Amino acid sequence: MKYIIIFLFASIISSAQINKEQLNIMPWPQNISLSEGVFPLTKNLKVNITGAPNSRIFIGATNFLRRLDGRTGLFFNQGFITGLNELPDAELQINCVRAGKIELYEDESYLLDVTANKITINATTDVGALHALETLLQLLQNNSNSFYFPISKISDFPRFTWRGLMIDVARHFMPVDVIKRNLDGMAAVKMNVFHWHLVDDQGWRIEMKKHPKLIQMASDGNYYTQEEIKSVVKYASDRGILVVPEIDVPGHGSAILTAYPEIGSKVVNLHLNSGEKGQQFTQIQSYSIERNAGIFSPTLDPSNPKTYQLLNEFFDEICPLFPGKFFHIGGDENEGKDWDSNPKIQEFKKKHNLANNHELQTYFTMQLIPMLKKHNKVLMGWEEIMTKNMSKDAIIHSWKGSNEGQPAGKSLADAAKGGYKTVLSNGYYIDLVFGVEDHYSVDPMPKNFVLTDEEKARILGGEATMWTELVTPETLDSRIWPRTAAIAERFWSNENIKDINSLRKRLNTVSFRLEELGLTHLKSKEGLLRNISNNQKSDALVDLSNVCEPIKQYSRNKGGTEYQMYSPLTLFADVCTPDASDAIGFNEAVNDYLNNKTNENQIIVTNYLNKWVNMHANLITLSNNAPLVQPLLPLSKNLKDISEQLLLKINNNQSIGASVLDELLEKCNSKEHADVELAVYNSLKKLVQA
Amino acid sequence: MKYIIIFLFASIISSAQINKEQLNIMPWPQNISLSEGVFPLTKNLKVNITGAPNSRIFIGATNFLRRLDGRTGLFFNQGFITGLNELPDAELQINCVRAGKIELYEDESYLLDVTANKITINATTDVGALHALETLLQLLQNNSNSFYFPISKISDFPRFTWRGLMIDVARHFMPVDVIKRNLDGMAAVKMNVFHWHLVDDQGWRIEMKKHPKLIQMASDGNYYTQEEIKSVVKYASDRGILVVPEIDVPGHGSAILTAYPEIGSKVVNLHLNSGEKGQQFTQIQSYSIERNAGIFSPTLDPSNPKTYQLLNEFFDEICPLFPGKFFHIGGDENEGKDWDSNPKIQEFKKKHNLANNHELQTYFTMQLIPMLKKHNKVLMGWEEIMTKNMSKDAIIHSWKGSNEGQPAGKSLADAAKGGYKTVLSNGYYIDLVFGVEDHYSVDPMPKNFVLTDEEKARILGGEATMWTELVTPETLDSRIWPRTAAIAERFWSNENIKDINSLRKRLNTVSFRLEELGLTHLKSKEGLLRNISNNQKSDALVDLSNVCEPIKQYSRNKGGTEYQMYSPLTLFADVCTPDASDAIGFNEAVNDYLNNKTNENQIIVTNYLNKWVNMHANLITLSNNAPLVQPLLPLSKNLKDISEQLLLKINNNQSIGASVLDELLEKCNSKEHADVELAVYNSLKKLVQA
């Protein structure tokens, strides 16, 4: 009897035909074909590795086994993979021609072939093979009783060689484990550059053995030891990821100048000081770690030889920690206020025939190139470093766009035309908390500028930027994921892969699976809500969080002074995320209903409205023992009020009159409550105006 | 108008009378008195520190502010506290007479005085002041609109000086961040000894610069660098916690012997080997890292001088990492099999007049005492090290009890009577996954043995032990917390504090607050359930997890071989915890109903039963797309079947007959499904038999 069941069961699985639409692969591969049938997973699955790979593939393959085992509970027999050709008969064979290098333009391609009883991965390098293992994990399917892979052939390679994520650890320090879990997330979606923003006005984050003042005076005790940095670089390398450190100069200099005020540009106050041997002049300058957010004037003095001496010494200590070829020196947002008001610097400008501060900054930046070249490093900087005299070896990081008063992609195109290699971040500022569609629709290859093939080739790719003025280790993941997976697809996949519905559907599963890596973007919500609700169980609070999004584009921290770097980021706005799930669902429901007013479609809409009417009553009850719920009540009241009227309108064809309805609607467009906005406003408006 | 509201509001708060029963302090203080009125919290709360404390108080007070700010969202003005007397007018004044030392018998007492407009903490040492801050955080109260502290006076000190938690990082490695968040948890409940079980058959976890083979061959790459160990020791010290390292010898030796087989006790096989210059004898011994759980024979050779040479070298490298006075050398569970079968060792025994293996082990252990004394360390070991010749300086760690065939507390009493200082762990084995009541009822001072005051004084306290054969970094916290908070109360508070209902009520809040420290014992459940449900939302699965507990006392891993150290611990049994919440609620409901069969009491009981009937149907639906739910269906079916019959019995006074009912009931007593048991069995039985 047992045999018959197994036989039947196997035949059910093997006849399954999976469609591409069922797959939740992200980034979508360049070529994929599916055939009928499956490779059934059992506890006997084993992995064998051949060829001449870097040993990172052993770690990657072992992690693959553990992740698959965690999902399926199959208790795989194989424990640790530590060498070549350990199990020649294994069902999963990985062959790598040679060891991959962690650098740009490395061959990251792979072929993945799943048949009914064998899986083969062929790749030039172990980096490609790691990508194949991530794709294979994403291929996993199940029925009610078992797990399997569909029979398939995939040939894949990246569209862009620079697929980056920047994390700012200066505004809010992010411990090593937080960085590492995000490196795992990057690897899962085939990103390959981690840009580590290590220094800014709010802190210096690298242990400096020869200049300990930097961490003693400018880190609040929050910094990475050099050993930790090495361990992050190794961890990244094991996942095929290059680490690019950033030391932001000459602006964003408060932290550096807190330790070394003598290289600051601020005009020096001269005080008379009566020393033992008569009168002396003493220079009094002072800087302190910045606690607010914004653009500040502390700037290194480009006319002071000591500035270059110190930076040279810093780089001598920092460069050996990072084996990669690129070193980011920032260079952004230097407004030059302290330069303008410093006569010594003005004199220096004249002496060197530097027409303006931009030229002065170029002078400064050019001094850094040989300091880095000595360590075999290429200088990279934000687009402000690009001037007519800037070395063509520098890499231009394009970040400005329409918000900064220039056409999107212009600086990228200018850089490419000007002979610079360049990377795009405008459009990928995930800290603005826009929805995923905004970022997904931005292509790193600008459409509104005509570029030659040679110029296009200088566009290395793109990079999502996670600035952390309003982000803590607890909320970081929910600000990066899952949206960054969609950006990763933009960087890797064919430019024609852009269907937003397919993206949303796949993102749902990809997001869920990312948590197996230790990421907390979904589960951190529960803990934060528990605090807000004062440990009271509440579906109402969850419901409200599913229709609210944090207010966008830096409007939460008006002028940069509402929140300090030590302010509580445990509030409702920190729970809410872009792409509020019920807002998306409600929008679909409203569109369906307005297109086709069936009873069924109407019920879906009115279920939402009824939910929000009840939600408000429940939140009032909840607030009796939860002060942090009080500020949310105006939001839920506004949503309740319009929902009640819309229910009357839809169900009973009653209306209180257009002007009152409009007034209620507009209350739902308020951004005055709890730093969030009701993400259902546009859908409500459609119903009001229907 | 605004003023009037504020005035009214203030008067409402200040007239509030808080009862002791409302407070959720744990461990409960030695003396507490409450008065009418409150200290209202505002964003102006500031902290000032005076006296001559260790600088750890600055870190502790800053963390206090951030935690309180995170709870209340008040945006305190004060950022970092870095020095003495920074804000003499602050509402919260902390005075410490002198710097605390991280050692036993240190003064940990404190006085906490909350008045309507001032809070004063007086302590001999900063360690006491840190305890006061934890108490103050636990004092926090709120109404619907605001937070406040009740006017109160607390004078507090610990009952025992050793209030420990052991974490085994050999069976499953626990990264630094996991250790640190648990140190925060310990500090929150005033525990002061972290016993770090760093070496066992399954791995060596300390970087060894002079003996790199230990991590190269016996760690799977999972170890702490020496810098990381120092950072943990510093982190612990900043929280008033002493770190006691354990290197378990001479048994539990597989990892050490994997690197150094030449000091093993296994009988050597002699093989003939034809070398170039004629025949040679070659010793072939081999050990490997253990993957299963249990007691294994690999044991260090006490007759080999190289054993002592190596251990001496190990200790020379390890001791300086741990400034504390105590060094745990394990010494447990050496069955001596390899000693018995090794003629050389038998000969050694005879030569040294050692009557048995126990005496031989004492010989071995005595060699270690001077090695440790050289580093100013006192040797501590599990109770097996206690023999008539053992030095009275050694500290005896009592762990055996009725499970091991001896009266609970006997070895503790024997040690105290024998002149040894001693620590109790029997009764605090939290890895057995028993309910909190079991541990809470065990007192470190044994009641069944008569001890003199001098002997009693040798009982230093107790220690919860977290062995990790079946525990990963993801589940560790839920195996330690919140039960360990109750154990901490047993170690700190007066022995008369033992009301289980009060404990359960307070533990609910304490558990919730512990997550603000980064602990994941509550929120990790959601992620694991998401994996089991295959990303389907399901209240039914949550409901089932709330009536199931993991099967207890090592029965989950039969013979130690069902799970290997790399097996998936992402299953339903890993989600479930001791003290299943609905099982506790249902038990109360059943007791109430059977005592008093009111309609109201009946409804509470039948609501549970109806919930479980519906749950089963929902789980079947869920299982259609979730293979990991399949093994749970027999459990939910058993619970559904008995629930249906009990509903008929209770609501309609119908019965299918006692024998059928008993049969259905007994199915709910099965431990055969999914490594869990239905924790409602006893309550169901009461209803069946009623």
Residue A546 to chain B, least CA–CA distance (Å): 14
Residue B551 to chain A, least CA–CA distance (Å): 18
Is B514 among the domain residues? no
From chain A, the residues in CB contact with B563 under 8 A are: 75
Residue A568 to chain B, least CA–CA distance (Å): 5
pLDDT of residue B278: 47
Does B106 share its domain with B226?
Answer: no
Residue of A nearest to B73 (CA): A568
Is B511 among the domain residues? no
Is B594 among the domain residues? yes
pLDDT of residue A16: 61
pLDDT of residue A271: 57
Tell me whether residues A72 and B628 touch, CB distance under 8 A: yes
B654 vs B573, more confident:
B573
Average pLDDT over residues B266-282: 59
Number of structural domains in chain A: 3
3-state secondary structure of B48: strand
Does B187 share its domain with B142?
Answer: no
* Residues B300, B316: Cα–Cα separation, whole Å: 18
- Amino acid letter for position B262: E
From chain B, the residues in CB contact with A71 under 8 A are: 531, 570
Residue where a domain stops, chosen among B139, B156, B173: B156
How would you write B175-219 as a 3-class SS string? CHHHHHHHHHHHHHCCCCEEEEEEEECCEECECCCCCCHHHHHHC
A259 burial (CB, 10 Å; 0-12 / 13-18 / 19+) is: buried
Residue of B nearest to A624 (CA): B144
For residue range B351-361, what is the model confidence (pLDDT) as tens digits? 999 999 999 99
As for the ipTM of the complex, it is 0.95
B7 vs A576, more confident:
A576
Does B303 share its domain with B363?
Answer: yes
| pLDDT at B282 > cutoff 70 | no
For residue B150, whether the previous peptide bond is cis, meaning omega lies within 30 degrees of 0, is no
Question: Which residues make Cβ contacts (< 8 Å) with residue A133, sequence separation at least 6?
Answer: A60, A61, A64, A94, A121
pLDDT of residue B271: 57
Q: Is A333 a catalytic residue?
A: yes
Cβ–Cβ under 8 Å, residues A334 and A361? yes
From chain B, the residues in CB contact with A625 under 8 A are: 142-144
Residue A441 to chain B, least CA–CA distance (Å): 27
Does B170 share its domain with B151?
Answer: no
**Of residues A66, A571, A627, nearest to B147 (C-beta):** A627
From chain A, the residues in CB contact with B531 under 8 A are: 70-71, 516
Tell me whether residues A567 and B623 touch, CB distance under 8 A: no
Q: What angle do CA B436, B438, B444 make, to 5 degrees?
A: 105
Residue where a domain stops, chosen among B133, B156, B179: B156
Does B430 share its domain with B544?
Answer: no
Does A258 share its domain with A199?
Answer: yes
Residue B444: half-sphere exposure toward Cβ, Cα within 13 Å: 32
Does B110 share its domain with B221?
Answer: no
CATH of the domain at A444: 3.20.20.80
Average pLDDT over residues B12-17: 57
Does B271 share its domain with B146?
Answer: no
Tell me whether residues A70 and B570 touch, CB distance under 8 A: yes
Tell me whether residues B515 and A508 touch, CB distance under 8 A: no
Q: How confident is the model at residue B274 (pLDDT cuts 50, 70, 90)?
A: low
Average pLDDT over residues B357-375: 96
Residue where a domain stops, chosen among A138, A156, A174: A156
B446: closest CA among B431, B426, B420?
Answer: B426
Q: Which of B567, B625, B630 to mutate to test the interface with A (most CBs of A within 10 A)?
A: B567
Instruction: Show the beta-strand stretches assigned E in A183-277.
Output: 193-200, 203-204, 242-247, 269-275
> What's the domain range around A281?
162-508
Tell me whether residues A71 and B570 touch, CB distance under 8 A: yes
Tell me whether residues B71 and A524 touch, CB distance under 8 A: no
Tell me whether residues A627 and B145 touch, CB distance under 8 A: yes
pLDDT of residue B16: 60
CB pairs A-B closer than 8 Å? 131
Tell me whether residues A79 and B625 touch, CB distance under 8 A: no
Structure tokens at B222: 């999972």
Does B283 share its domain with B366?
Answer: yes
3-state secondary structure of B585: helix
**Of residues B71, B524, B566, nearest to A79 (C-beta):** B566
Is A142 among the domain residues? yes
Provide the sign of the torsion angle of the four alpha carbons B593, B599, B601, B603, taken in this order. Answer: positive
Does A478 share its domain with A583?
Answer: no
* Residues B475, A142: Cα–Cα separation, whole Å: 25
Average pLDDT over residues B124-132: 98
| pLDDT at B526 > cutoff 50 | yes
Question: Which residues make Cβ contacts (< 8 Å) with residue A613, sequence separation at least 6?
Answer: A640, A643, A644, A647
pLDDT of residue A17: 74
Average pLDDT, chain B: 95
Is A1 among the domain residues? no
| pLDDT at B272 > cutoff 90 | no
* Residues A543, A635: Cα–Cα separation, whole Å: 12
Cβ–Cβ under 8 Å, residues B525 and B258? no
**Of residues B231, B291, B474, nearest to A79 (C-beta):** B291
Is B428 among the domain residues? yes
Q: How confident is the model at residue B7 (pLDDT cuts 50, 70, 90)?
A: very low
Q: What is the mean pLDDT of each run of 10 residues along chain A (690 residues)?
A: 43 65 97 97 98 98 98 97 98 98 98 98 98 98 97 98 98 98 98 98 98 98 98 98 98 97 85 52 77 96 98 98 98 92 95 95 96 98 93 97 94 97 98 98 95 98 98 98 98 98 98 97 96 96 98 94 96 98 98 98 98 98 98 98 97 89 97 97 96
Is A133 among the domain residues? yes
* Residues B413, B459: Cα–Cα separation, whole Å: 8
Catalytic residue (choose from B333, B474, B588, B666): B333
Question: For residue A281, how many other CB atoms are within 10 A of its CB?
Answer: 10
Does A245 share its domain with A130?
Answer: no
Does B380 share its domain with B319?
Answer: yes
From chain B, the residues in CB contact with A566 under 8 A are: 66, 69, 79-80
Tell me whether residues A79 and B626 touch, CB distance under 8 A: no
Tell me whether residues B79 and A564 touch, CB distance under 8 A: yes
Torsion of the alpha carbons at A502, A508, A510 and A516, rounded to the nearest 10: -170
Q: Which of A525, A532, A567 to mutate to test the interface with B (most CBs of B within 10 A)?
A: A567
CATH of the domain at B148: 3.30.379.10
Is A171 among the domain residues? yes
Tell me whether residues A526 and B530 touch, CB distance under 8 A: no
Catalytic residue (choose from A103, A262, A317, A333): A333
Per-position DSSP letters for A600-620, written without gaps between them: HHHHHHHHHHHHHHHHHHHHH
**Of residues B73, B75, B565, nearest to A628 (C-beta):** B73
* Residues B555, A284: Cα–Cα separation, whole Å: 71
Residue of A nearest to B518 (CA): A474
